[in-house]
Structure 1
Amino acid sequence: MSVESSATGSQRWWWIGGGVAALVVVVVLVLTLGGGDEPDARPTATTTSATPDPSASPTASAPASATTAPTGASGTASPPPDAAPSGDPQDVPVPPLGAEEPVTGRGDEPVATDGIEVRVASVSATTTEAKGPGDVVGPGILVTLELTNQGRAALDTTGVAVAAFGGAEGVPLSPVDSDGRNDHLSGDLAPGASATGVYVFMSPDEGDALALQVLLGATFSPVVLQGVQIS
């Protein structure tokens, strides 16, 4: 074989190899650029529904109600309208007699303690008759007290003590012992019997409430009568 023929053959194979390489590059480019058209290579768009899910729980809290329960001046809930008051505002403060709780009543209603019934028979306005040292002439009241013995033993009424108090401060009313109309209880009160006694006091100020305190003896509970009316 000649040298010229060998060179010519080498050039032919070089062109064939170059053509094959160029064809491979073209195929790769076509596959690469055309791969995006395949259905599986397309990105899938996510569709968001505009309709809210009815089963989903709302995340926002409901606004607090503007209506609140009424409160009193101290900030606590007001008591119901039909709540009973704790005490009569017209009651007069009366000091205790010892540690024993008194038996209380109102007006001329009878009050019983240890078998003895106590009742205010009447309270009338008067002018005191001052005859003793320290007594003065002025507005006064005549208190008629009635006792009824409902027990089985006689009661010695000589030791019965009556006191009067007036106004919101419970001011003691001075007894007018020298007034001749005093007729204090005395002597024995038999079972089933009744007796009355009269006691004279200076009058409370005009418009003041009146209360009476009655002590029958050391073995009896004190009696307090509130809301006593002056006629």
Structure 2
Amino acid sequence: MSETSTPAGPWARLGPRARVAVLALAAAVVLALVVWGLARTGGGGPDGASGATSPTPTSSPSASPDPSQSPLVAGATTDGAEPEAAPQEAAPVTAPPPAAAPASGTVAAAVGAAAEVAPQVTVTVDALERIQGDGEGPGQVDGPAVRFTVRVGNASAGELSLVGAVVNAYFGAGQTPGVQLNGSGSAALPSTVAAGAEATGTYVFLLPADATTTRVEVYSVPGAAVLDATAATPS
């Protein structure tokens, strides 16, 4: 039986070691080609491109300030707003001169004598007259009484108010308040007294049994002194 002959060629003429070296060289060439191909297609780097640089982030333009948050200067305005008026200094206040102090206290005068109770204002209690008084109205009774007239003179240039005028009478050592009667010709002072004129009023008070003296108090115009006129009670 004849042996099969191995075809002769370059690979057959190489020894085992030479064949290993050729195979290693071929593998290195193939690897180098693969690496070169990846670099050409951009797959060789971790970011997907060899030698490609990461894009540099561009800085964003700074935001424009909000006009509503900007401090306002005095006199400045915002769109659509009226200018705010600057505070004005208050005008100096001039105090009026103090008025003359009104009269006060009590002015004593004899019955029948005029007494000045305020500048250009006088009050007079005319002579006392003993009468039989007639009581008119609820709670009033008839009886011995004293009647007198009160005069208020106004020498000023203006009308005076007598709305608050009050007349009282007190009797005896104990100063017993008298009871005023509405009858027997009594008539209170009017509400006003004209400039340069005189106002009169007539008053009637019951007499207590032991009335030896009669004291009359007259409150005339506001702020004036009180007239105090005392006389013996007529018999």
Give the TM-score, by structure 1 length. 0.52
Counterpart residue number, 1:221: 225
Helix, strand or coil: the match of 1:197?
A: strand
Aligned AA for 1:142? R
Counterpart residue number, 2:139: 134
Counterpart residue number, 1:170: 175
Map of 1:37-186 to 2, 5 A cutoff?
100-114=104-118, 115-177=120-182, 179=183, 181-186=185-190
Q: Is the 8 A contact 1:212 1:228 kept in 2?
A: no
Q: Is the 8 A contact 2:212 2:232 kept in 1?
A: no
Q: CA deviation at 1:229?
A: 5.3
Counterpart residue number, 1:88: none
Q: Does 1:187 align with 2:202?
A: no
From the superposition, tell whether residues 229 and 131 of structure 1 become closer, same or farther in structure 2 (CA, over 3 Å). closer
Q: How many residues align?
A: 131
Percentage of identical aligned residues: 24
Aligned AA for 1:117? T
Q: Is the 8 A contact 1:141 1:201 kept in 2?
A: yes
Q: Is the 8 A contact 2:149 2:203 kept in 1?
A: yes
Aligned AA for 1:152? A
Larger radius of gyration: 2
Distance 2:153 2:124 in 1: 8
Q: CA deviation at 1:159?
A: 2.3
Q: Is the 8 A contact 2:108 2:227 kept in 1?
A: yes
Q: Which runs of 5 or more residues in structure 2 are unaligned?
A: 1-103
Helix, strand or coil: the match of 1:227?
A: strand
Give the TM-score, by structure 2 length. 0.51
Higher relative CO (Cα under 8 Å, sequence separation at least 6) belongs to 1
Q: CA deviation at 1:227?
A: 2.1
Q: Which runs of 5 or more residues in structure 1 are unaligned?
A: 1-99
Deviates more, 1:105-114 or 1:221-230: 221-230
1:201 maps to which of 179, 202, 205: 205
